[in-house]
Amino acid sequence: MKKIIAEHLAGAEGRTKVDRWVPQWLAVPPAAYTPRGGVAAVRAHRKALAAQEEAAEAANARAAAAEAEDVTAPDAGADAPEADPAETREDGAVDSDGSETDERLAA
């Protein structure tokens, strides 16, 4: 048996040479030799694919929900009150009592 495998891998004794051969259960993705299965690697691969698909569906659902709740719509800030320019300092900050202060003078 070992001799036959070695001859196929090497292409000796008139046999067809097989490059980079691996058993089906060790290939990516793994496969079984018969329809009944029975190969743990095949079951594990199918389980991993199913989990990956579920995760992708959940991510798509989250993205769709986030898009539905998008607050960056063009009219989203239309109801926001504008600051009174008299209560705004040059740097854009407003004092808590509405008066302007110069931090250089406070020091």
Torsion of the alpha carbons at 49, 51, 57 and 62, rounded to the nearest 10? -140
Identify whether 103 is part of a domain. Answer: no
Domain-embedded: residue 105 = no
Tell me if 47 is assigned to some domain: yes
74: confidence class by pLDDT, cuts 50, 70, 90: low
Residues of the domain holding 42: 24-68
43-59: pLDDT as tens digits: 899 999 999 999 999 99
What is the pLDDT of the chain when averaged over all its residues? 76
pLDDT for the residue 26: 83
Total-model pTM? 0.43
In a domain, 57, yes or no: yes
Does residue 35 fall inside a structural domain? yes
What domain count does the chain have?
1
Q: Using one digit for the tens of pLDDT, what is the confidence trace for 82-103?
A: 655 555 556 555 555 555 555 5
Domain presence at residue 106: no
User: Is the residue at 44 inside a domain?
Assistant: yes
